[in-house]
Amino acid sequence: DQQVKQNSPSLSVQEGRISILNCDYTNSMFDYFLWYKKYPAEGPTFLISISSIKDKNEDGRFTVFLNKSAKHLSLHIVPSQPGDSAVYFCAASANRDDKIIFGKGTRLHILP
Amino acid sequence: EPEVTQTPSHQVTQMGQEVILRCVPISNHLYFYWYRQILGQKVEFLVSFYNNEISEKSEIFDDQFSVERPDGSNFTLKIRSTKLEDSAMYFCATGYRINTEAFFGQGTRLTVV
């Protein structure tokens, strides 16, 4: 049962353009959402998060949008840079739970 | 910048052997986790640990698995009798607060042969 879904296994974006990574979730108890970035042979690196009381959080080139009614969140990266090429994991947690549930990840390729 | 450190980076073991994976958490963190990622699959939650006891565990974390923090600093994952399907990257993660971001180590690649 996939509680966090990333339906695009990969995405290619031109350098300098906007990258949009999407994520859907099914568990209405989730109240905290995170994006992690992962390079090969490394652990996931925390990127940005958003609480369910907000609908947008911005940190430099990274913005996360949350649409609670649609149970959907997205990560926008603008402008995209070569170093952004990595696997991006959407993740979520519920207030009562002491764990983070990950999606399967989207591999982002930034094209020169 | 503080980081979570895991040792060894790669462990090869024979099926049926015991392995211990080690993690040094970020110093002021109180919540500790183990996750694993089988090649090509998603990152899966194994167990969370707080106040010297397991706070939550997944179905994967059966009786073959155990965790402890024996000396108040290192956080370990023990697999008593390894199986071929235990081959995966094992990530330790730590956090300073519940229901917030966790910071991951670089992982230990476990290969069971």
Res A28: pLDDT: 92
Gap from B12 CA to chain A (nearest CA, Å): 16
Residue B92 dihedral angles phi and psi, to the nearest 5°: -90, 145
Q: Which pairing describes strands A30-38 and A45-51: parallel, antiparallel, or unpaired?
A: antiparallel
Q: What is the DSSP letter of A83?
A: G
Please indicate if any CB of chain B lies within 8 Å of the CB of A62.
Answer: no
Res B110: pLDDT: 98
Q: Which pairing describes strands B108-112 and B10-13: parallel, antiparallel, or unpaired?
A: parallel
CB nearest A95 (choices: B45, B56, B99): B99
Residues of B in contact with A86 (CB under 8 A): none
Res A17: pLDDT: 98
Please indicate if any CB of chain B lies within 8 Å of the CB of A42.
Answer: yes
pLDDT beneath 70: ranges in chain A: 1
For the cut 80, the answer to whether the pLDDT of residue B72 exceeds it is: no
The mean pLDDT value for B5-21 works out to: 97
The mean pLDDT value for B61-81 works out to: 92
Please indicate if any CB of chain B lies within 8 Å of the CB of A100.
Answer: yes
Mutate to test the interface with A, among B46, B99, B103 (most CBs of A within 10 A): B99
The mean pLDDT value for B26-32 works out to: 90
Between the CA atoms of B65, A101, A1 and B6, what dihedral angle is there, to the nearest 10 degrees?
A: -30
The single-letter code of the amino acid at B79 is I
Mutate to test the interface with A, among B26, B101, B108, B111 (most CBs of A within 10 A): B101
Res B1: pLDDT: 73
Contacts of B102 (CB under 8 A, 6+ apart): A46, A100, B31, B33, B93, B94, B95
Res A97: pLDDT: 76
The alpha carbons of chain B give a radius of gyration, in whole angstroms, of: 13
Res A95: pLDDT: 77
